[in-house]
Chains A and B, each alone.
Chain A
């Protein structure tokens, strides 16, 4: 290992060295091309073109969803139930897990109760297969602000209802 600056310069490279440098440069160009076509770059380009470059910073994923979760929770713990989803369906699993983990992140430090005590959630399966039995007395006993029920109908449409203890489900 050379402790100081390397003695050689690029001009001192032999044929094999130059071949490697050319290949590295081509590799760098391929990566540069990938930058131009990346998902984020394309999205920014589309937003710039359609909404103006000043709106790019406003398009933050989950911003509206986070605000809705926080508004429903109102700083109190939430109960969350998923009805009509199948733990065998990968799309259902993706939808359910993303909603649950985003909800936990959005309303923290308020807790999100989604499965009975003792059930461990690492992915969507326990969320779907172990629904919470959250009746009004349980909601009141645990100081739950709202019970959010996310229900998938047979036709695939998804309906979200909010139930508060002692109140009719809107």
Chain B
């Protein structure tokens, strides 16, 4: 257990060290620092372990100890040199209804987080996708590294499945297994606890930019309490990590959009690379999120005649650099399964257009499940209508809202497209995957609700 805690501290420490190296000048509050440290650690440590593994340095306890020493040295150097004070969280004095909101949000947040954490630490690997795909890959990496490429990835007569799924989650699980030396089922899911911390802190810090802290707690609780997030969060699949990646990516892109800081652009690029290294749909998500903000920035600069921001180049550049090794390494691996990229042809789309009715019914069935989503997909459009001022040109934040809405819509359209070309029977695949895919867009949805809520205040004279 103690080794497990040390492993998580090393991963978070590596994230914190990178954060301080990238943006020593920026002041961040405690929530943002915790969120960035955890989510950056969960993003860069697997990337580094992968880069080392493909040149022949296997994932081992020694490598992770060295990583911890380097991170510790950077943090100590930063602590000794840094004299600036970080921001503190402004905790308002609560009254009446605010306490009620906080108790409801806090209870839901605590319960869901406890359920996900206990699944991660106690339950073993029991969900189908977890043991047949993600944690099996972790065992493959822990058993023999990636150099030479294990038979798992190319020996088709052994008949494994989903060979081309990204290795971000498995390699971090393999690290936990190698570092703790424990039983596979007990150590592989350990990193999910840090993912949960990173997700909650990142989402809270993003939402607190728009709404008071009690509403940020309520919205964060709703985002991590959908049926899919709780069921799969601690299961050993990559879905909770994907939700964290989208939350972290959106958070940094919004910060860059607002301030133009180069540090936020670099971190956004890292998280986009992390999304690509987490799940196959991460590539589409990275393109949609980064593309929407970069295109909007280029259009705005062109209109105003100002110079192009460095971020418009930096974000895709860093995303490409951090995911390049993975994309090259994965290229020769046979696509024996879904291969959505290969199936994306006009002929395939046209011939399967009759699926759209079934897809629409599946969307409705999932979104209208009040026990599964708490009505968030109905509250979101209602907020957009009542908080319509957020779209007004005079609102300086209007462009951020419009971009975030575009991301949400493009994300869903991509899901629809994937279901249209899927090799599976559409009802079957929607039944098992749609809730999970929708959960990836939950950070986007609650951020939009917060954006609109921030305009629904009483007018000064009222």
Contacts and interface: CB of A to CB of B under 8 A. Distances in A.
Interface of A: 1-6, 8-14, 16-17, 19-21, 23-35, 37-38, 40-41, 56-57, 60-63, 66, 98, 101-102, 104-105, 108-109, 111-123, 126
A34 to B, nearest CB: 4
Nearest to B258: A1
A107 to B, nearest CB: 10
Contacts of A60: 122-124, 126, 185
6 contacts: A1-B254, A10-B98, A37-B371, A40-B123, A60-B126, A104-B132
A155 to B, nearest CB: 28
Nearest to A112: B158
A138 to B, nearest CB: 13
Given A27-B374, A28-B104, A30-B375, A6 B160 contact: no
A13 B458 contact: yes
Given A27-B222, A57-B122, A60-B126, A8 B159 contact: no
A14 B383 contact: no
B158 A111 contact: yes
A27 B135 CA distance: 34
B156 interface: yes
For chain B, which range describes its interface: under 10, 10 to 19, 20 to 34, or 35 or more residues?
35 or more
B6 interface: no
A16 B210 contact: no
Interface stretch (B53-61, B137-145, B360-368): B137-145
Interface of B: 90, 92, 95, 97-98, 100-101, 104-105, 107-108, 111-112, 115, 119, 122-126, 128, 131-132, 135-136, 139-140, 143-144, 151, 156-162, 185, 208-212, 214-215, 218-219, 221-222, 225-227, 230-231, 254, 257-259, 336-337, 370-376, 379, 382-383, 386-387, 396-397, 400, 449, 451-454, 456-459, 462
Contacts of B259: 3
A114 B159 contact: yes
Given A13-B456, A101-B132, 11 more contacts: A6-B211, A10-B214, A20-B449, A27-B375, A27-B379, A28-B218, A30-B375, A60-B122, A60-B124, A105-B125, A108-B136
Given A111-B158, A112-B158, A102 B131 contact: yes
Contacts, number: 210
Contacts of A8: 211-212, 454, 457
A96 to B, nearest CB: 13
Residues of B contacting A: mostly: helix
Given A10-B215, A23-B375, A31-B226, A104 B136 contact: yes
B456 A27 contact: no
Contact of A6 (B95, B396, B454): B454
A32 B161 CA distance: 36
Given A6-B209, A10-B97, A10-B98, A61 B140 contact: no
Contacts of B458: 12-14
Contacts of A21: 101, 215, 218, 453
Nearest to A20: B383
Interchain residue pairs A-B with the least CB separation, the first 10: A17-B456, A27-B374, A121-B159, A101-B132, A117-B157, A61-B126, A34-B371, A16-B386, A60-B124, A31-B374
B456 A1 contact: no
Contacts of A31: 108, 112, 221-222, 225-226, 371, 373-374
Contacts of A104: 132, 136, 160
Nearest to A57: B122
Q: Most B CB atoms within 10 A — which of A1, A38, A57?
A: A1
B157 A118 contact: yes
Contacts of A29: 104, 108
Nearest to B371: A34
A33 B383 CA distance: 24
A12 B371 CA distance: 30
B212 A6 contact: yes
Contacts of B158: 111-113
